[in-house]
Amino acid sequence: MNPQAFLTLHRNLPREGPGEPADIEWLGRQISLPEGARICDNACGPGADIGPLLALAPGAHVTAIDINPQFLGQAAEQWGEDPRVDLLMGDMRDPGGPYDLIWCAGGVYMLGVREALEMWKPSLAEGGVVAFSEPCYFKYPPDSEVVEIWADYPQMSGEEGVGARVRAAGYETIATRRLSDDAWRAYYKPLMARMEELYEDADDDLREVLIAHAAEIKAWDEYGDDFGYLLSVVRPRADG
Ligand SMILES: C[S@@+](CC[C@H](N)C(=O)[O-])C[C@H]1O[C@@H](n2cnc3c(N)ncnc32)[C@H](O)[C@@H]1O
């Protein structure tokens, strides 16, 4: 997939993966963050989660990190002047810290669950937690058509498999939640509107990207009950 064509399609979308404010409100009910909580939005994309993260604790501060200047630029349009937010162009592998919460929506699969959690341990403050969403088979074992959809991510597992990778990283799971259909729509609806807008004048590279995205959305339409994103809230184990 041509990266420039990908970015043309993804310009000015509100988010870069499934998610909704209700996920972060739910997270707030699972943990107790201190006043002035230090929060990292790791792989923040265009920054859709920054507002709900700031609302998790009085005086909270969010450090939002992404490697992509286009997405970070979008986040800066809303948050660039806000003293409660730092926007950093950088690598999610080394987010700095210490943080009371590392939030990562839809980014951990790029590193692997175990690898990401191990890497982020030194970035957590005492009592700190990680919350991340991860592609997951909700029907397990999955049908072959569904495995085919996720052929590029062979590490994908069922919910128990996510928990096993969390434990292997020396963490324990506090709570999990399946992302809702509304979370998917929050990503796909604006994406589909943008696809429609671009289709007629698309060159070959862009057309290829549009076709790949249309296939992804169709797969979710057909098999979306069998897979999704699992949001896990985890903390390092004392014996980890
Ligand atoms: C699936 S998107 C999710 C973005 C955002 N969390 C959201 O839900 O809208 C993954 C993001 O990870 C970013 N990314 C990819 N590799 C990265 C890296 N090594 N370090 C930081 N960000 C990275 C991409 O630029 C993209 O914004």
- Kindly report the CATH number assigned to the domain that includes residue 229: 3.40.50.150
Question: Which range marks the domain in which residue 139 is found?
Answer: 13-180+225-236
State the pLDDT at residue 55. 98
- Using most ligand atoms within 8 A of CB, pick from 40, 44, 89 the residue to mutate for ligand 1: 44
CA 41 to CA 31: how far, in whole Å? 16
Structure token pair of residue 236? 């390092």
Domain count, the chain: 1
- What pLDDT, in 10s, does the model give residues 32-91? 999 999 999 999 999 999 999 999 999 999 999 999 999 999 999 999 999 999 999 999
* pLDDT score of 2 more than 90: yes
What are the pocket residues of ligand 1 if the criterion is a CB atom closer than 6 Å to any ligand atom?
15-17, 19, 43-45, 48, 65-68, 71, 91-92, 105-107, 110
3-state DSSP call for residue 100? strand
Look at residue 5 and tell me if it is in a domain.
no
Q: Examine residue 188 and state whether it is found in any structural domain, yes or no.
A: no
Whether residue 109 is contained in a domain is answered as: yes
Q: Can you say how many angstroms the Cα of residue 92 is from the centroid of all Cα atoms in its chain? A: 12
The reply to whether 87 falls in a domain is yes
41 C-alpha to ligand 1 centroid (Å)? 10
Token pair of 79, please? 């948050």
Measured distance CA(168)–CA(240) in Å, rounded: 9
Burial class (CB in 10 A: 0-12, 13-18, 19+), 129: buried
Backbone angles phi, psi at 181, to 5 degrees: -60, -35
Report how far ligand 1's centroid is from the alpha carbon of 235 (Å): 22
Tell me whether residue 205 is in a domain.
no
Considering the domain boundaries, does residue 199 fall inside one? no
- Atom of ligand 1 at shortest distance to CA of 68? 25
Indicate whether 60 belongs to any domain: yes
What is the structure's pLDDT at 1?
Answer: 85
217 domain residue, yes or no:
no
240 has pLDDT over 90: no
SS3 of the chain: helix, strand, coil, percent, to 5: 40, 25, 35
| Amino acid sitting at position 104 | C
Q: What is the pTM of this model?
A: 0.98
In which element (H, E) is residue 137 found? strand 124-137
Q: Which helix (DSSP H) or strand (DSSP E) does residue 65 occupy?
A: strand 61-66
